[in-house]
Every structure is written in C-alpha cells, then in structure tokens.
Amino acid sequence: MALYFREVTYGGIAGFYDYGPLGVALKRNITNLWWQMFVNEREDMFGIDAAIIMNPKVWKASGHVDTFTDPLVECAECKSRFRADKIDTSKCPNCGKAGTFGEARQFNMMFKTNVGPVDDDSSVSYLRPETAQGIFTNYKNVVDTLYPDLPFGLAQIGKAFRNEISPRDFIFRVRELEQMEIEYFVDPHKWEEAFELWRQNVHAWCDALGLDKNKVHELEVEEADRAHYSKRTIDFEYDFPIGREELLGLAYRTDFDLMNIQNNSGKGMEYTLKGSNERFVPHVIEPSFGVERALMAVLAEAYTEDEVNGEKRVYLKLPEHLAPVRYCVSPLLKNKPELVAKAREVYASLKKKHGNVMWDDNGNIGKRYRRQDEIGTPYCVVIDFDTLEDDTVTIRHRDTTEQSRLSIADLLTK
C-alpha cells in the first residue's frame, strides 16, 4: 500500500514527491500534532498563513537574493553539476574522470518566476525558500490587531521551495518542501531563557514523534557555519538510516529580520511593553521544523522486523496518534451477510469517531493482519460469530500480535 508516489505518467522530476492516501494521512497527523502542541495548546502562540509568492523586496531585504546560495561545480567532461561541499571534487562522481572541476561558483537556490503578463526583470519574484519571512512581514499586523503580551510567537505551516543542486536520499533533501516554523518574539534581554525553553520544547516534540532519545543529538553550530542572521544555532540531528543528519534547527535570529524590514520598508517594528513606555524591536528565537525530515525520522524509527510463528515479519511501530490508519475492521468471512452487516455497523461507528479507520475484507485474516502491520495500523478489529451472540469483537494488537476480546461498547469509548 502506497505511502508515497513517484509520479508514474511522465516519470516525475528529481526532488519533488507526491504522497499517496496513506502518506498524506501520516503527514497530516504530523502537522496537526505540531499545530496542536505549539498553537492550540498555548496562550502565547498565534497562527498565520502567508502567501508563497511575496513582494521580491522581502527577499532582497532578508539577504536571500544575495546570500541564499550553495557552491556549484560543473564537470568539464560530462557536464554534470554538483554541490561542491558535498563531494570529493578531485574526481567526478558521475563519469569518474579526475581534475575536471574548475572553481566553484555560488548558485542561488531560489526558484524565480514572473508575476503578471509581462515577462521581464520588473516582474520577477520568487517562490519562498522559507516560510519564516511571511511571519516577519505579518508581525506588525498581529501587533496592531491582537497586541499580544511579549513574549509571543507566530507559527506557520506551509510549502517552501529550494532549487537544490543535488536533491537526495528520498525526501531528506527535496526541492519542494514543507516547513513548520515559529518566530518567537522576546525582550532582547531575555533571549537566552526563551532559547532554553524552546530547546526543551524541541525535545518534547521529538518525544511526541516517538523518536528514541538516544538517536536525537544537539549540535552547537560554530559561528563560521551559522546562517548570516544567526547569533546562536543548535541543529537537532537524528540518526537516520543514511547517517546522522539535521532534523530541524533552533536559531537566535536577534532583531536581524525586523530591523531589515524597518530599514527597508520605513515601517516601525517596535513593540511597546504593556504598562510602560519602554519600546524596542523584539529579538527572535526561531525553531524551524521540516515536515519531510520529521516524516522520514518517524518512518525510520517505526520500521521493525521480527519473527512470528517462524516467519519474518516487517511492521511499522508507529505511535497510535500518528498511524495513518488507527483501526482496520473486518468480518471474519466476507460471504456471511450477517457478519458483514455487523462489521459494517462497527466500522461506521468507529469511522465516525476516529476518521482514520479502514475496511478490509480481502484475503484471509492472516494476510489482512500482515497488510495492516506493514502500514502500522495499531489495531485490527474482527467481527465473528461470537459477536452476533454477545456483542464482543476480537481486537488484534500490532506490536505483540496478541488478540483479546472487547465489547463493542468499550471499543467505542476507547
């Protein structure tokens, strides 16, 4: 059953992925969990949804037009292009010829487009390479309309686009990605305590994804390696099957972005502390989460092999709150109308309650269990002849493969 697709009609394009019914369900569960934890459950956080294409002045002021670049090299022999910092440039990884690379040049990763019917320099804009700037440009609107107490944060989930030179490793480095970003506005004197709180919140997020604490690592990023706007960055890395790599980042962006906007737009970005006349441009702590990397870590963590009755079994040990399908409902036999009717009744009630409930009456029960194991369904519910007598069902548990009996009433209040 498909979690994700490589588009098959025309073969797709490198760095872009489509998600199938199960993949999108898993992705939604991740983004909904994030919104629940970081927006709905908190008093100091507010959501926004900014446009993907913004005024190009945004990207000039943010530094992206000038500095959002990666070093690019081209092989003189086979013309393949690579990110210079990701390969050994003494030999071309494609054709194998040595000494074919010249000097690296800086390649800007923003996708360009033209807005409106005129196709010239005056109409150039960009697909946003990060969701963050849409938050900074809306900060003033939120202060003017809601006037939240400081510190407060703005959160956004949305697509971002990066023309990566070498997209790679499944969805680890893609060209169309989704970010879940927070800009948390603080009193400049209090940035350290806010940074520490968000460091802890990030760990709580990794726990909520079900990631093993021993596989999550903090990397204090050296000044030379930090983004141009950051005074402190911690990369949270995860032990992916491809190695230890960045899962998400936590940065202290100072007042870099709001000051840029103030200086370039002429609009004041100051915040007046409530109950005083003190005014200042807030500083910003930015936890920035990539959806694809969260999804990839969740899949890597969940992938499990064991042995059941002497046979190898592969299953996804997904946390119940992330599983694309929570319950699979089956009649024991699909040619017994009374079983099918009762099973349909149970299915309809569970579906109404949880939404992510699947019906499966194909093949024998053993095969149905294995199919559900593979997609990480925690519970399979089977309606048999006893159900017709006493209103109980068999519930089969994914991780232990154990089966127990439960009344339908208890199942529906679970």
Examine residue 151 and say whether the peptide bond preceding it is cis (omega within 30 degrees of 0).
Answer: yes
The yes or no reply on residue 162 touching ligand GAP (CB under 6 A) is: yes
Contact (Cβ atoms closer than 8 angstroms) between residue 319 and residue 313: no
232, 256 contact by CB (below 8 A): no
Cis geometry, peptide bond prior to residue 71 (ω within 30 degrees of 0):
no
The one among 130, 257, 301, 384 contacting ligand GAP by CB under 6 A:
130
User: Cβ 365 to ligand GAP, closest distance in Å?
Assistant: 40
Residue 174 binds ligand GAP, judged by CB under 6 A: yes
Using alpha carbons, select from 407, 410, 365, 373 the residue that is nearest to residue 390: 407
Exposed, middle or buried: residue 362 (CB in 10 Å: 0-12, 13-18, 19+)?
exposed
| Contact set for ligand GAP, span 284-313 (CB under 6 A) | 288, 290, 292-293
- Comparing CB distances to ligand GAP, the nearer of 132 and 343 is 132
Q: Which stretch binds ligand GAP (CB under 6 A): 89-97, 170-178, 256-264, 327-335?
A: 170-178
Cα separation, 347 vs 336, in Å, equals 16
> Which is closer to ligand GAP, CB of 56 or CB of 290?
290
Chain position whose Cβ is nearest to ligand GAP: 290
If one asks whether residue 64 binds ligand GAP (CB under 6 A), the answer comes out as: no
Give the whole-angstrom CA distance, residue 25 versus residue 35: 15
Judged by CB under 6 A, does residue 257 bind ligand GAP?
Answer: no
Size of interface with ligand GAP, in residues (CB under 6 A): 16
* Sign of the C-alpha dihedral computed for residues 396, 397, 402 and 403 taken in this order: negative
Residue type, 82: F
* Of the candidate residues 100, 179, 260, 392, the single one contacting ligand GAP (CB under 6 A): 179
Question: 3-state class of 367 per DSSP?
Answer: helix
Tell me which stretch binds ligand GAP (CB under 6 A): 20-28, 83-91, 177-185, 373-381: 177-185
The interface with ligand GAP within residues 216-255 (CB under 6 A) comprises 246, 248-249
**Contact set with ligand GAP (CB under 6 A):** 130, 132, 162, 164, 173-174, 177, 179, 181, 246, 248-249, 288, 290, 292-293
